[in-house]
């Protein structure tokens, strides 16, 4: 496996723990990993990213309970992002792209599971944008600034308009913050592409639900932050 893929597996293992523990208010960096059902501490051989899950067939060796599938999903996706990032843009640019993609995975997973886009993770994206600008990576500083302001303002205006017209919340503040952070990372030129991509993914999600016989109503919630995250990494790839 490539260096990017290996680093992605390691990052994915950590992020899967963050995704599971953070919403429950549990510590992320302290304490050894243990089975969530029986509490048995996991051995070193059970902590190998992706491989351990397949080797145990997705179940705890002691109690047989199913291991949350967020582990293999996040680890595998982060490995793919790392491999792709370093393959198409070796060096510093590839490292920044990989970090960008890994943060997006965490944000998408938290939004899908809890409709939650933590401000701290969004702030990390903004700091990554500042760091990449300082390193001389495209886009330019003004493009990033306009992207940040324009991205946030666009969804904030939509959210405010929806609230006044429908008398209820339609978009969360986290969606506008994330869109602004994506604009800061990729520049204002990428925002229309990200928004179109997010809408396309959302329509496909609704179509699959309808094809599966599930009812879809106008009041149903969709994780817009996750949809934006899914569209943002391909936009970074095109930018390269």
- The CA distance from 180 to 207, in Å, is 28
The CB-based long-range contact list for 82-88 (8 Å cut-off, 24+ gap) reads 82/2, 82/3, 82/4, 82/5, 82/6, 82/7, 82/8, 82/9, 82/11, 83/1, 83/2, 83/4, 83/5, 83/8, 84/4, 84/237, 85/4, 86/2, 86/3, 86/4, 87/2, 87/4, 88/237, 88/240
Domain ranges of the chain: 1-88, 118-240
pLDDT tens, per residue, the chain with 240 residues: 689 999 999 999 999 999 999 998 887 766 677 777 777 787 877 788 998 898 988 898 878 889 899 999 999 999 999 999 999 998 999 999 999 999 999 999 999 999 999 999 999 999 999 999 999 999 999 999 999 999 999 999 998 988 888 777 778 899 999 999 999 999 999 999 999 999 999 999 888 878 887 877 766 788 999 999 999 999 999 998
Q: Which two tokens stand for residue 234?
A: 């391909």
For residue 74, what are the β-bridge partners?
A: none
């Amino acid at each position: 496996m490539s260096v990017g893929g290996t680093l992605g597996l390691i990052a994915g293992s950590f992020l899967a723990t963050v995704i599971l523990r953070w919403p429950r208010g549990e510590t992320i960096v302290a304490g050894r990993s243990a089975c969530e059902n029986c509490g048995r501490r996991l051995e070193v051989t059970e902590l190998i990213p992706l491989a351990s899950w397949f080797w145990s067939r997705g179940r705890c060796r002691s109690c047989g309970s199913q291991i949350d599938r967020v582990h293999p999903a996040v680890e595998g996706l982060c490995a793919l992002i790392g491999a792709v990032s370093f393959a198409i843009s070796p060096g510093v640019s590839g490292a920044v792209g990989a970090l960008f993609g890994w943060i997006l995975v965490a944000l998408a997973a938290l939004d899908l599971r809890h409709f939650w886009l933590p401000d701290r993770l969004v702030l990390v994206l903004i700091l990554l944008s500042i760091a990449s600008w300082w390193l001389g990576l495209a886009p330019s500083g003004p493009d990033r600034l306009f992207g940040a302001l324009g991205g946030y303002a666009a969804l904030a205006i939509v959210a405010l308009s929806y609230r006044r017209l429908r008398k209820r919340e339609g978009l969360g503040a986290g969606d506008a913050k994330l869109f602004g952070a994506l604009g800061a990372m990729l520049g204002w030129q990428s925002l229309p592409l990200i928004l179109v991509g997010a809408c396309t993914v959302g329509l496909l999600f609704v179509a699959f639900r309808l094809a599966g016989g599930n009812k879809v109503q106008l009041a149903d919630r969709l994780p817009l932050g996750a949809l934006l995250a899914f569209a943002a990494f391909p936009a970074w790839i095109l930018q390269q």
